[in-house]
Structure 1
Amino acid sequence: MKSIVAAAPAVSLLVTSAGERASLRFLEFFVSAIRNPHTRRAYARAAGDFLAWCAGAGVTSITAVQPLHVAAWTELLTQTHAAPTVKQRLAAIRHLFDWLVTGQVVPHNPAASVRGPSHTTKQGKTPVLDASEARQLLDSIDVSTPIGLRDRALIALMVFSFARVGAALAMRVEDVYVQQRRLWVRLREKGGKAHAIPCHHTLEAYLHAYLSQTGLRDEPKSPLFCTIARGTGQLSITPLPQANAYAMVRRRALAAGIVTPIGNHTFRATGITAYLKNGGTLENAAAMANHASTRTTQLYDRRHDDISLDEVERIHL
């Protein structure tokens, strides 16, 4: 509980001046209303930034915030931030004031009538590897050590199951299990949604090697992906943090000679694109990725990148 409260921004003078009830309701928003830790951090950052701006603009209490203040702050953000970022931060403020309204701290939501910048996209910006690069990366990993076995299994899991890195790192050993004579993985995606999927034969081989050669198979309650204990080269009992996974991916890509600035999410997009290129359907891709809508899955579909490159090469001078 303490760590959750610490994730909320310091209760500023604007909140405390509205009374103890307002302060408690403000903190409860981050403790009770926001369950995802990444969303909590983003919303806390947005709320802290907005309240600091309001204080600088002469607003004396959170109950005195008006739509004009929210609109001015939003307009200022559009000068320095991309539209999706501005929309996310505005959503955070809107959500916060909704919570304060239902708690009868403020009479109305000053952000409700404020519109964010227009933004539409038909393709995501996540860097994607082609199939040969993904294969090159996996084959370049030295699997004679526990860290190599771990890294190969984690990258393959994200490629072949379309798993988000957060869901992958939250897995326990028992989330890898046999069903219908095949290995399956159980993922817990956004919103706590449980999602099970059978393993591609390559992923199955990598997971079997990882679990058997590291001894993790006998520790069903252990985190599936752990850090390496300092000075031993062996797996610890500490779950691998997402920042460490990102650093690992960047390091492995550099060692494999891949210059594309990839991240953890690259493998989700790489797997989906490879699946669709080989005749998979958008509907099945959405189900495998645990997307609520195929419109989200389409953002990961980069099949048209090849067409664009071929067309560009038609320009002969």
Structure 2
Amino acid sequence: MSAPTTLLPFQPATISTAQLAAVSYLARYSGRTHILYSFQLREWFSWCDRNKLDALTGIQRAHVELYIRHLGDRGLMDSSVNTMMHAVRGYFRFAHIDGLITADPAVYARLPKIHRDESRTQGLDRLELIRFLQVAQSITVHHGALAYLLGINALRASEAAAVRIEDYADTLRGHRVLHLVGKGNKPATMPVTVPVLRALEACRGQRTAGPLVLGPVSGKPVDQRDVYRMVARIAKSAGIPRHISPHSLRHAAITNALDAGVPLRDAQILARHADPRTTEHYDRARGNLDRHGVHFLTAYVAGV
């Protein structure tokens, strides 16, 4: 089998079962995720071709683990090896679901263990976040709205750039809400608190529709690069002496929510994390014995 330089487009008359499975799997994704997963599958197909293996039929767990070892031998960090396996594992999982293979050879393949106690992103503590929000509003109303979307509602850079005026016009059960489409094209609805609404309304001005945050110079809708530049400008003006990115603000929103005592499940909803273990990485105080569950349980059953 020759390794395809691309998995799309293809000729239906000549496509192999392995390629069909790849095309079917990749059709589930779009944008950057599609690009990333296409790259990961091309790497898998190339390795199989070099080792005279069909990329789907006849693959066993040992082959998958040899590929994982190959990735490590290339000098990739353990976390990068795990990332490179996302598409490969999904590819086999759905090929099994679709009946193209009788068993999933990747389901029990051993991945490198990653020991991470905390997210490595440089966030902001409570006072730094307060200063960041205050300074942002003093630059332009667009900087202010962006800062609140990132630092309070924990939006990602692409999500904040995509917010439209119409997206926060609705009221649900007495709360003004923001509708957005998040990572993986998952829709989400979150409350807009009064300080955030004030910042958004100041940014909106007399406009009634269209993109909310506009570039401070161009007056055109911002993109992700503009968001990074605006955040860097706010951080510099606020005197924060380290690199601050849009994700630093999202990180700050999650860590400060946990520091404020927001339960892990509610912080997970704020962050829109599929796995609570991801949210746990942001909990800076989870080793604090004052917050240990035995205190609450003891108080609950203190009568015994």
Alignment TM-score > 0.5, same fold: yes
SS at match of 2:180: strand
Distance verdict in 2 for CA 1:188–1:278, change over 3 Å? same
Using the TM superposition, name which of 170-179 and 286-295 deviates more. Answer: 286-295
Task: Supply the distance in 1 between the matched residues of 2:247 and 2:168 (Cα, whole angstroms).
Answer: 21
Unpaired runs of 5+ in structure 2?
290-304
Aligned to 1:158: 150
Aligned to 2:263: 281
1:195 aligns with 2:188: yes
Aligned to 1:173: 165
Unpaired runs of 5+ in structure 1?
1-7, 308-317
| C-alpha displacement of 1:183 | 4.3
Contact in 2 for aligned 1:269/1:301 (Cα 8 Å): no
RMSD, matched Cα: 3.6
Aligned to 2:294: none
Deviations, residues 99-147 of structure 1 (Å, cap 9, x unaligned): 3445565565443342111224342222211122223333434756xxx
Distance verdict in 2 for CA 1:306–1:200, change over 3 Å? farther
Task: Supply the distance in 2 between the matched residues of 1:69 and 1:260 (Cα, whole angstroms).
Answer: 44
Corresponding pairs, count? 281
Task: Supply the distance in 2 between the matched residues of 1:26 and 1:273 (Cα, whole angstroms).
Answer: 38
Distance verdict in 2 for CA 1:52–1:241, change over 3 Å? farther
Q: 2:124 aligns with which of 123, 129, 133?
A: 129
1:42 aligns with 2:30: no
Task: Supply the distance in 1 between the matched residues of 2:237 and 2:230 (Cα, whole angstroms).
Answer: 11
| C-alpha displacement of 1:25 | 4.0
**Counterpart amino acid of 1:53?**
W
Distance verdict in 2 for CA 1:81–1:259, change over 3 Å? farther
Task: Supply the distance in 1 between the matched residues of 2:199 and 2:287 (Cα, whole angstroms).
Answer: 30
Q: 1:207 aligns with which of 190, 200, 210?
A: 200
Aligned to 2:49: 55
Aligned to 2:24: 28
| C-alpha displacement of 1:152 | 2.4
Distance verdict in 2 for CA 1:254–1:59, change over 3 Å? farther
TM norm structure 1: 0.72
SS at match of 1:185: strand
Task: Supply the distance in 2 between the matched residues of 1:64 and 1:170 (Cα, whole angstroms).
Answer: 45
TM norm structure 2: 0.74
| C-alpha displacement of 1:9 | 6.6
- Report 1:211-230 matches (<5 A): 211-212=204-205, 215=206, 217-219=207-209, 222-226=210-214
Distance verdict in 2 for CA 1:136–1:104, change over 3 Å? same
| C-alpha displacement of 1:303 | 4.2
Contact in 2 for aligned 1:54/1:69 (Cα 8 Å): no
Deviations, residues 36-88 of structure 1 (Å, cap 9, x unaligned): x3332321221122223333344466546554442222113234223232223
**Counterpart amino acid of 2:37?**
Y
Distance verdict in 2 for CA 1:54–1:295, change over 3 Å? closer
| C-alpha displacement of 1:206 | 1.3
